[in-house]
Structure 1
Amino acid sequence: MELELTGKVAVITGPAKGMGAAVSLGFAREGASLALLGRDTAAIEPVAGQAREIGVAAGVFGCDVTDEAAVGAAVAAVLERFGRIDILVNVAGGTGPIGKTGVETTAAEFDEITHLNMRGPFNMIRAVAPAMAAQGGGRIVNVGGTFGMRGRAMRLAYSSSKWGLRGITKSFALELGPDNINVNLVAPGMVDGPRFRDKVVPQVAAQYGLSEEEAAAKHASDYALGRITTDADVAAAVLFLASERARQITGVDLPVDGGWAAL
């Protein structure tokens, strides 16, 4: 299936590692130019370098997505360099307090993660939407999480932030639809990687008296497909929703979790 992403300009937040890096390099392989935004530009440069080796243009722009002025300046710099913005992918976010009940979670902890996970995408969409509308349309994909679809005990702040991001997605989809701008959300489940292997698996192993291999298998058994999501799985969903193949899809939540949130 041809995604028709060659020559498009994709702005991606949080591109330094994990899902963000996988999404960025996925767009590069499809021929899109990359504008990579984040606070730690040195950490982003290796991803930009890999994209250039693939053969596409890639620029790194310093930006704190929670800072409205910084977002405006970064988007202006992207437009100055590339001339247009066809795609925005909001990956940047955080996890918030883990292992705390809602009562134990402090107001500061709640505010910090909801501010990052909701204000960041809000700022970015507000900044890019006028340029997309002026050029005749665009695609926006927010990266949420399945805890924003079913909720999760001991993760109240994070869950709240991802539920909020779903509302941001759906409201912008309705408002920007007349400008031919699609706004959708990809909701990964647990993603295999350092956090899963170094934190989640040892925690499950200790809790149930299992080996780490058994703990990983136990976690995977929670999903209908019996396997953990990878960064590549998330990237594939994002690429589809950003492509011309998804021209008639907007305002949706797409779980990429092997069948946990929807079943």
Structure 2
Amino acid sequence: MPDLGGLVALVTGASAGIGRHLAEGLAARGAAVAGLARGGDRLRAAMAEVAAATGSRTLAVPVDVTDAAAVGAAVAEVTGELGPVGLLVNNAGLVDAAEVPLWDADPDQWWSVVESQVRGPFLLARAVVPGMVSAGGGRVVGLASGMGTRGNPLYSAYSAGKTAQMRITESIDLAGAAHGVRAFDLAPGVVDTAMTRAMPMHAGRTEWTRPADVVDLVVAIAAGELDAWSGRFFRAGADDLDTLRATTPAGDARRLRLVPYGDGDPLG
């Protein structure tokens, strides 16, 4: 079990679901954890529970991750209270309210999903990564999805947002590599949460990704065990952690790319 003592981790969407599991998993291994979420009361209760269960220091900072000024103030509070952030986990995000084609979606709700998946991670990275650069390195994890690697007929906003988030990850990796900053796309699979239970596509599902598998991958990232995968995609519940540790991917493996139509493809 890696010791994360001395690490300051910032997890968005930390009051429930995957974010709550990640906050406790990181704290259990010695990290100080700042949790961000919109609902203040639930977030403060969750962070207090994590502190009581693990003995690690936690901080609850209620914030809308799509509000630039609020995100800047939240990150300043975190660094002031806990110190420079060494691990950022962009977990917060909405999903399409209804399983309908794009042209039947409510425009405001559709756009709010994209904002949560794109503007939120952008603003958090913009506020946190400069501190990582100054410190000589750090790691950013984007909670990805298989829907980000392909289109979806009924979850167009979520699919578009997750695809954009993969480009954010790759951009951080490319620009941050020289400064020791690494970024990863981690798809959690289908964890049993209130959000996934509310999605009609998962009605009747009995097999779920274990939260522990997601936590183990994020802990391995935080410990520097998966740095060879920076800028790339992997999935909890499908990828074996020991195999990831032992593998150095090459070329465009696990990156979002066009597939040539044949040997003569001029864009190949």
**Structure 1 letter corresponding to 2:62:** G
Mapped contact 2:43–2:62 kept (Cα < 8 A): no
1:247 aligns with 227
1:107 aligns with 107
2:147 aligns with 147
Equivalences for residues 1-263 of structure 1 within 5 A: 2-53=1-52, 54-197=54-197, 200=200, 204=203, 215-217=204-206, 227-258=207-238
| Partner secondary structure for residue 92 of structure 2 | coil
Residue 239 of structure 1: how far off its partner (Å): 1.8
1:49-92 per-position Cα deviation (integer Å, ceiling 9, x unaligned): 22222111101112111011111111111111122111111111
1:149-188 per-position Cα deviation (integer Å, ceiling 9, x unaligned): 2332211111111111111111111011111011111112
Whole-Å separation in 2 of the counterparts to 1:37 and 1:193: 18
1:16-66 per-position Cα deviation (integer Å, ceiling 9, x unaligned): 111000000000111000111122121112221222221111011121110
Structure 1's unaligned 5+ residue stretches are 205-214, 218-226
Whole-Å separation in 2 of the counterparts to 1:39 and 1:27: 21
Higher relative contact order (CA 8 A, sep 6+): 1
**Structure 2 letter corresponding to 1:187:** A
Residue 8 of structure 1: how far off its partner (Å): 0.5
Whole-Å separation in 2 of the counterparts to 1:35 and 1:146: 27
The number of residues matched between the two structures is 239
Whole-Å separation in 1 of the counterparts to 2:85 and 2:188: 25
Q: CA RMSD of the aligned region, Å? A: 2.0
Whole-Å separation in 1 of the counterparts to 2:168 and 2:70: 20
Residue 97 of structure 1: how far off its partner (Å): 3.1
Mapped contact 2:18–2:193 kept (Cα < 8 A): no
1:120-173 per-position Cα deviation (integer Å, ceiling 9, x unaligned): 000000101111111111111011211112332211111111111111111111
Residue 102 of structure 1: how far off its partner (Å): 1.5
**Structure 1 letter corresponding to 2:83:** G
Mapped contact 1:139–1:181 kept (Cα < 8 A): yes
Return structure 1 stretches of 4+ with deviation > 4 angstroms: 195-199
Whole-Å separation in 1 of the counterparts to 2:156 and 2:106: 11
| Partner secondary structure for residue 78 of structure 1 | helix
Q: Quick one: structure 1 residues 198 and 71, their matched pair in 2 at CA, closer, same or farther if it must change by over 3 Å? A: closer
| Partner secondary structure for residue 235 of structure 2 | strand
Whole-Å separation in 1 of the counterparts to 2:167 and 2:72: 23
Residue 197 of structure 1: how far off its partner (Å): 4.6
| Partner secondary structure for residue 70 of structure 2 | helix
Q: Quick one: structure 1 residues 28 and 81, their matched pair in 2 at CA, closer, same or farther if it must change by over 3 Å? A: same
1:184-229 per-position Cα deviation (integer Å, ceiling 9, x unaligned): 111123222344456548x75xxxxxxxxxx435xxxxxxxxx421
| Partner secondary structure for residue 119 of structure 1 | helix
Mapped contact 2:189–2:237 kept (Cα < 8 A): yes
Whole-Å separation in 1 of the counterparts to 2:197 and 2:108: 28
TM-score (norm. length: structure 1): 0.84
Which one is further off, 167-176 or 227-236?
227-236
Mapped contact 1:241–1:249 kept (Cα < 8 A): no
Whole-Å separation in 2 of the counterparts to 1:27 and 1:18: 15
Mapped contact 1:228–1:258 kept (Cα < 8 A): no
Q: How many percent of aligned residue pairs carry the same amino acid? A: 31
Residue 257 of structure 1: how far off its partner (Å): 5.0
